[in-house]
Amino acid sequence: MLSKGRIKELTSLHLKKYRSARNMFLAEGDKLVREAIRSSAQVEEIFAMESWAGAEKAIQSGIPVTFTGERELKQLCELKSPNEAVALVHMPKHIIEEVEFKGHWNIYMDRLRDPGNLGTIMRIADWFGLERIICSPDSVEPYNQKVIQASMGAVFRIEVIAMEEDVMLAQARAAQVPIYAAAMGTLSIDTLAAGPEGIVLMGNEAQGLSNKLLEAADQRISIPGKGAAESLNVAVAAGILMHWIQRG
């Protein structure tokens, strides 16, 4: 059983400031907890009902499992759906001063606000084999529970880092990799092959890319369409551009 003090300590991680202070977050639900066990994530402890089928695997992996009742487990969870397990996970380093751009493709998200979009983009990056997503520091935090759930386990495999746009641009230029800005009505990706390396800049859901990033790009690219829709959801657009990268 969990004490009231321990429950209070754990539920404080529902707030970003406490996640940042302790460098830890909670992953809720059977699928995510199993994904955490299978991945290289540093799982501190798992809290589970005795009926949870994943307990044996967790214990075999050397992860402490604390069994608790349904009432206590509900208190730990932000989501209303019933869960059998919750994992306490160490947060990977989120602020990184230097990235290896040479020989790699990267996606830079400018002021991404919606947690569902970030989680979905992480999941798509996981599918296409990209190693990281770079976000401007004012983007949604990657260890928000809604991001974690939308990532479907990609949160444990995709590196999500925060980097100021000036730092990112300086490093990309120093590495001499091409910089592409996703912008409506520009050069279609159907007429351009993706090379072996580069960085794609993608903008805020409502406002698009900042003028500074648009002007900094070597090339502006767009996704061709024939319908009447004004624009694509940013996660959908990111998926198409990641497929373009892989195809190239």
Each residue of 118-132: pLDDT tens digit?
A: 999 999 999 999 989
Report all structural domains of the chain as residue ranges with CATH numbers, in order of start.
4-90 (3.30.1330.30), 105-247 (3.40.1280.10)
User: Can you point out the beta strands (E) in the chain?
Assistant: 24-28, 43-48, 65-67, 85-90, 105-109, 132-135, 159-162, 179-188, 198-202, 219-222
**Predicted pLDDT at 185:** 82
pLDDT recorded at residue 231: 84
Tell me, what DSSP letter sits at residue 142? T
For position 171, what pLDDT does the model report? 96
Instruction: Report the pLDDT value the prediction gives residue 80, as an integer from 0 to 100.
Output: 78
Average pLDDT of the residues in 142-165: 94
pLDDT at 236 over 90: yes
pLDDT digits (tens, 9 = 90+) for 46-92: 999 999 999 999 999 999 999 999 999 999 999 877 789 999 999 98
CA 240 to chain centre: 17
- Give the model confidence (pLDDT) of 167-180 as tens digits: 999 999 999 999 99
Q: CA angle, corner 161, sides to 186 and 231, nearest 5?
A: 30
Q: List, for residues 189-223, the tens digit of each pLDDT value.
A: 999 999 999 999 999 988 889 999 999 999 999 99
Q: What is the pLDDT of residues 87-119, one digit of tens each?
A: 999 998 766 678 889 999 999 999 999 999 999
CA dihedral 159, 163, 167, 173 (to 10 degrees): 40
Q: Kindly report, residue by residue over 2-55, the tens digit of the pLDDT.
A: 888 999 999 999 999 999 999 999 999 999 999 999 998 999 999 999 999 999
As a whole number, mean pLDDT of residues 148-163 equals 94
Whether pTM exceeds 0.85: yes
Instruction: Give the model's pLDDT for residue 95.
Output: 61
